[in-house]
Amino acid sequence: METIVQKLADLEEQDVLALVQKALDNGTDPGQIFGACRQGMILVGERYGNGEYFVSDLMMAAEIFKGAAKILQPAMTGVNTEGKGKVVVGTVAGDIHDIGKDLVVGMLQVSGFEVHDLGVDVPSAKFVEKLKETGATILALSGLLTVAFDAMKETVAAVEEAGLRPCVKIMIGGGPVTEDIRSYTGADAWGNSSQTAVSLANQWTEA
């Protein structure tokens, strides 16, 4: 399993997929293989955090992980790969940027969270509906355009109006997001990387 961890961390796609298939064919527990892939993604995140990797590398790693997960999926029935908590994620109304959001989704998933990705240009009512449907306690709002700030604020207000605010923590993120924007929107926290999103989610679920 250590080889899978290292190969994924080194972004060696074909080697990872071949090793995953071989381990599965040899009868290795799929949950154990999935765990090795997750560990590889954690190493990728660490390399990004210390400046060794860039956003393009994170995207490459996410694609490799998806490929491995696709191989493992048929054998994963009944294997618990989640459990940390549920997170609803989406790019707010008026904004269609998704690269940052997709990175956050991928890193949250490999960190053990059950993620419900609503996509882009998501109205506030849809976020509220999904929070009610899933019982998620974390909401992650993404936006790259300045017009997203008002949409974020409206979404936070809608969550509060629905009576969900006491049990839902809200984070916002995107290129222009700052502490001032967090204060303006009424969110609990902000971040500018997928690692920050994972750290916040971990803090909130462990509290």
How far does CA 148 lie from the centroid of its chain?
A: 20
> CATH class for domain 86-206?
alpha beta
Nearest Cα neighbor of 119 from 145, 92, 156 is 92
Residues 55, 45: Cα–Cα separation, whole Å: 10
pLDDT at 125 over 60: yes
Query: What's the pLDDT tens digit per position in 51-87?
Result: 999 888 988 988 898 889 889 878 765 555 556 899 9
Give me the architecture of the 2-75 domain, per CATH. Orthogonal Bundle (1.10)
Where does the chain hold its CATH 3.40.50.280 domain(s)?
A: 86-206
Highest mean pLDDT among 14-23, 35-44, 82-91: 14-23
Where does the chain hold its CATH 1.10.1240.10 domain(s)?
A: 2-75
Nearest Cα neighbor of 73 from 109, 98, 45 is 109
